[in-house]
């Protein structure tokens, strides 16, 4: 299957700093990428849908100024957690689907990024 | 709104058993259904994708079925192994919105040696 790479896999930062997480589709072009947050022992919560070259669509309750998403190319989307606080500590996972015409409808996930804010 | 339910939430079986994981959904207007595996602290690995026009898909010891009319899918694992221990999630993609995926809460499987 297609490969989605996420980096870093884990990060520890001080409260008030900003952290950037990258999501790359390695062997296909992804028009749309998704960012999820997962709390312990819970399923995934969709945060936002990111489309290449346009603004992300955020789910209700997700602060767009807090979680900045950029999808500058067909293979890269980034999530920046700004002014991070301990309550932002979580597991963040990205996923991607392919270009129209190459899109089988299958969703591919990155390895996830564990953020710990001290 | 689509709701996806997975039962049981946890399952423990001895090695070698065949087992079935269940996924049910409330709206039959789906584009496809996908099964994933998640190991602790990791992302999701795609196992099987079933399009709405298909009844089942097979990969190795895994077989997934889909019955849209009853809103159900099952993941059958044959001859389970300790390495199959993980959380299994199903996700439904609705026919009316390609960018929406509804996830179940998962079934945590433990295969005992």
DSSP calls for A21-79: EEEEESSS--SEEEEEEE-TTS-EEEEEEEETTSPPEEPTT--TTTEEEEEEETTEEEE
In this predicted structure, what is the pLDDT of residue A43?
A: 84
In this predicted structure, what is the pLDDT of residue A91?
A: 96
Give the nearest partner residue to B34 out of A42, A46, A107, using CB atoms.
A107
Which has the minimum average pLDDT: A30-39, A43-52, A71-80, A99-108?
A99-108
Give the Cα separation of B7 and B23 in Å (integer).
Answer: 7
Q: What residues in chain B have their Cβ under 8 A from chain A's Cβ atoms? A: 31-32, 34, 36, 41-46, 49, 51, 89, 91, 93, 98-99, 101, 103-106
In this predicted structure, what is the pLDDT of residue A103?
A: 61
Residue A37: band (very low, low, confident or very high) from pLDDT cuts 50, 70, 90: very high
In this predicted structure, what is the pLDDT of residue A98?
A: 65
Provide mean pLDDT across the span A72-83: 93
Angle CA A22–A79–A49, to nearest 5: 110
Q: What does pLDDT average to over chain A?
A: 90
A93 touches chain B (CB under 8 A): yes
C-alpha pair distances (Å), B103 with each of A13, A48, B25, B78: 30, 15, 10, 24
In this predicted structure, what is the pLDDT of residue A39?
A: 87
C-alpha pair distances (Å), B9 with each of A7, A20, A43, A61, B5: 30, 33, 11, 27, 9
Both tokens assigned to B76: 């059958």
Chain B interface mutation, best of A11, A98, A106, highest count of B Cβ atoms under 10 Å: A106
Provide mean pLDDT across the span B84-103: 91
Pairing of strands B102-103, B44-51: unpaired
In this predicted structure, what is the pLDDT of residue A66?
A: 96
pLDDT in tens, B4-46: 999 999 999 999 999 999 999 999 999 999 999 999 989 999 9
């Amino acid at each position: 299957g297609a490969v989605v790479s996420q980096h870093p896999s884990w990060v520890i930062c001080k409260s008030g700093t900003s952290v950037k997480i990258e999501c790359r589709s390695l062997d296909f072009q992804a028009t749309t990428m998704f960012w999820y947050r997962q709390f312990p022992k819970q399923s995934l919560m969709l945060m936002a849908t990111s489309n290449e070259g346009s603004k992300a669509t955020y789910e209700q309750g997700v602060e767009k100024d807090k979680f900045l998403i950029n999808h500058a190319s067909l293979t890269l989307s980034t999530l920046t957690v700004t002014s991070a606080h301990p309550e932002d500590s979580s597991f963040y996972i990205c996923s991607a689907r392919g270009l129209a015409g190459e899109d089988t409808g299958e969703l591919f996930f990155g390895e996830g990024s564990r953020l710990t804010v001290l | 709104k689509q709701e996806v339910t997975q039962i049981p939430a946890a399952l423990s079986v001895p090695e070698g058993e065949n087992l079935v994981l269940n996924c049910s959904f409330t709206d039959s207007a789906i584009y496809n259904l996908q099964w994933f595996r998640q190991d602790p602290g990791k992302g999701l690995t795609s196992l099987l994708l079933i399009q709405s026009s298909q009844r089942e898909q097979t990969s190795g010891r895994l077989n997934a079925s889909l019955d849209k009319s009853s809103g159900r899918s099952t993941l059958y694992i044959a001859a389970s192994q300790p390495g199959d221990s993980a959380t299994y999630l199903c996700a439904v993609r609705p026919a009316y919105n390609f960018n929406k995926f509804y996830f179940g809460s998962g079934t945590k499987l433990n295969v005992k040696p």
